[in-house]
Amino acid sequence: MSDQEQTRPAENRSPPEPEQASPERTPAPQTGPRAPEAAVQEQQPPRRPEVEELEDRWRRALADLDNLRKRYARELPREREAERAKVAAAFLPVVDNLELALAHAGAGDPGTIVSGVRAVRDQAVEVLRSLGYPRHDETGVPFHPEQHEVVSVVDEPDTPAGTVVQVLRPGYGEPGHQLRPAAVAVTRKQE
């Protein structure tokens, strides 16, 4: 090594130039197919321990990611089934009360049957609310395209245009997270 090369820091040293091979030292060409890894390894300089450690950590991170993907693929169907079972269990009391209402339908008093069916409906609405889908059936509110679906337009001179005057089918959920919008009748702009 020259004096200049010895004074340079180790990090800035470039790898030594390969010596020109003499004709008598040139290996004979191989006729069979070579493994690409062997060719790459012959061309690469020896690795430092830090590089090997980083490559090892990189391979481990890739393996961890692959394992995470596989675990997610296994657990997703179980999680979906658990959520479906949770929702179905929340509706079981509603079904039980409907069966009670049907059992008492022959009792004779239609008022008690109607009040029983209303109670069951209220229970079903409460189940939907607890699952994150509250009922929307308000009238007198401004039309909101994310919560309402216009099915009818009416003339009402005393109300501002675009006001919900009748709910034909209630909606469930909040904007951006809905089961369905409310089907409503709104007022039109007076000319």
Summary mean pLDDT of the chain: 79
pTM, rounded to two decimals = 0.55
> Does the pLDDT at position 41 exceed 60?
no
* 149: β partners: 183
> Does the pLDDT at position 95 exceed 90?
no
* 3-class DSSP assignment, residue 151: strand
pLDDT score recorded for residue 2 = 46
Alpha-carbon distance of 182 to 160, in angstroms, equals 19
Res. 103 pLDDT band, cuts 50 70 90: confident
pLDDT, tens digit, 9 for 90 and up, residues 7-20: 444 444 444 444 44
Percent of the chain with pLDDT over 70: 74
Q: Are 76 and 82 in contact (CB under 8 A)?
A: no
> Does the pLDDT at position 132 exceed 80?
yes
The domains located in the chain, with CATH, are 48-133 (3.90.20.20), 134-174+182-191 (2.30.22.10)
* 3-class DSSP assignment, residue 158: coil
